[in-house]
Amino acid sequence: MTCVSPEGRITPGCTGLYAPEHEVAWRRIVGFVHAETDAKVAIQLGHSGPKGSTQLGWEAMDAPLAHGNWPVLGPSPVAWSPNNQVPREMTPADMDKVRADFVRAAQMAERAGFDMLELHYAHGYLMSAFITPLTNRRRDAYGGSLANRMRFPLEVFLAVRAVWPAPKPISVRISANDWVGSDGITPEDAVAIARLLQAAGVDIIDVSAGQTSEAARPVYGRMFQTPFSDRIRNETGMATIAVGNIYEPDHVNSILMAGRADLCCLARPHLADPYWTLHAAALLNVKGETWPKPYLAGRDQLHRLTGRADPAAERV
Ligand SMILES: Cc1cc2nc3c(=O)[nH]c(=O)nc-3n(C[C@H](O)[C@H](O)[C@H](O)COP(=O)(O)O)c2cc1C
């Protein structure tokens, strides 16, 4: 997640897109990728809300900083945990400011050359905190029914969509299950959330789950969030991205071929091996992937070796 304001950061180590020097730095990175490869680049924009002002992910995750905490915002004064700050309940003026921060970041992302935008509406951060009844206790037009809880996230989306070029897609990442039973968001609610986003013009739902409550009891396993993507895709007709413990090329192929998602997103496998996708293509004897030109000799050797390991593989 790239944060839309300093107070919207999760940690002091988070990337941002709110100062002129950020736009310059991102333009350099995106320009390099576009000049050297045929890859497309998306940026995920978000605001941390009640889970802001915390330590780096590899320190004490979600725990407040030892020094220099900044005040955090939320739909209601509900803290992430007894250790975290109680967020200030957002006023209409706070909502105007956050909406404007998202719009400014989207405009900067466009000038930096990004091909796609994703809005982070998952994992207990600000927009997610509005969507789930676990943290939204508001009694005004922004709390209560699902339509009310979605009001601010939809306003932000529409404001961003108005400044983001029409041909470039926007996805929204949601938590499709709070994993707390019927008191929180259920996979059925997630279909209703997707329908509201679809009606507003969202192109793709990136279907994650959880991280919205300390009381969550997720059921892990390989591809464990894919059933939620499957359901949203097939009940609404929307394009979806599946994510979560997808780590074998066969997982990706079976999800896509069975019509359970339109794209798969792999996070940790790419931290362990940035070339995971190129390696998977070679294993499956797919030759169409673009490699960086200086690495072509490595590609050719890998294809020879994987071809040798699989006598049935077609050799070209
Ligand atoms: C180091 C790290 C950083 C992450 N940062 C983000 C993030 O900024 N935004 C987000 O939506 N998910 C983030 N995630 C969650 C991943 O996108 C993904 O949903 C999760 O790791 C499960 O997928 P995986 O099994 O492929 O890793 C992060 C995960 C890791 C391990």
* Cβ count near 65 (within 10 Å): 15
Q: Is the CB of 57 under 6 A from ligand 1?
A: yes
Taking the C-alpha atoms of residue 1 and residue 216, their distance in angstroms, rounded to an integer, is 22
Q: Is the CB of 299 under 6 A from ligand 1?
A: no
Statement to judge: residues 192 and 223 lie in one domain: yes
Q: Is the CB of 245 under 6 A from ligand 1?
A: yes
Taking the C-alpha atoms of residue 180 and residue 214, their distance in angstroms, rounded to an integer, is 9
pTM (predicted TM-score): 0.96
The number of domains in the chain is 2
Taking the C-alpha atoms of residue 247 and residue 261, their distance in angstroms, rounded to an integer, is 15
Taking the C-alpha atoms of residue 88 and residue 106, their distance in angstroms, rounded to an integer, is 25
Which is the closest atom of ligand 1 to the Cα of 123? 11
Sort residue 244 into left (φ over 0), alpha (ψ -120 to 50) or beta.
Answer: left
Q: Is the CB of 49 under 6 A from ligand 1?
A: no
Total residue count of the chain as it appears in this document = 316
Statement to judge: residues 157 and 54 lie in one domain: yes
Statement to judge: residues 111 and 231 lie in one domain: yes
Q: Whose CA is nearest to atom 5 of ligand 1?
A: 1
First to last CA, the chain: 41
Statement to judge: residues 296 and 178 lie in one domain: no
Distance 267 CA to ligand 1 centre (A): 5
- Ligand 1 test: best mutation among 1, 9, 119, most atoms within 8 Å of CB? 1
Statement to judge: residues 49 and 196 lie in one domain: yes
What is the domain-level CATH number for residue 88?
3.20.20.70
Q: Whose CA is nearest to atom 17 of ligand 1?
A: 267
Distance 182 CA to ligand 1 centre (A): 25
Statement to judge: residues 168 and 228 lie in one domain: yes
Q: Is the CB of 208 under 6 A from ligand 1?
A: yes
Residue 125 annotated among the catalytic residues of the structure: yes
Statement to judge: residues 133 and 111 lie in one domain: yes
Structural domain span for residue 137: 2-272
Catalytic, out of 18, 121, 125, 142:
125
Statement to judge: residues 10 and 93 lie in one domain: yes
- State whether residue 260 is helix, strand or coil: coil
Instruction: Kindly write down the DSSP assignment for every residue of 195-256, as one continuous string.
Output: HHHHHHT--EEEEE---S-TT------TTTTHHHHHHHHHHH--EEEEESS--SHHHHHHHH
Statement to judge: residues 309 and 223 lie in one domain: no
- Ligand 1 test: best mutation among 15, 117, 208, most atoms within 8 Å of CB? 208
Distance 208 CA to ligand 1 centre (A): 9
Statement to judge: residues 164 and 307 lie in one domain: no
* Cβ count near 57 (within 10 Å): 12
Statement to judge: residues 231 and 296 lie in one domain: no
Distance 188 CA to ligand 1 centre (A): 23
Q: 180 and 148 in contact (C-beta within 8 Å)?
A: no
Per-residue pLDDT tens listing for the chain (316 residues): 999 999 999 999 999 999 999 999 999 999 999 999 899 999 999 999 999 999 999 999 999 999 999 999 999 999 999 999 999 999 999 999 999 999 999 999 999 999 999 999 999 999 999 999 999 999 999 999 999 999 999 999 999 999 999 999 999 999 999 999 999 999 999 999 999 999 999 999 999 999 999 999 999 999 999 999 999 999 999 999 999 999 999 999 999 999 999 999 999 999 999 999 999 999 998 888 889 889 999 999 999 998 766 555 554 4
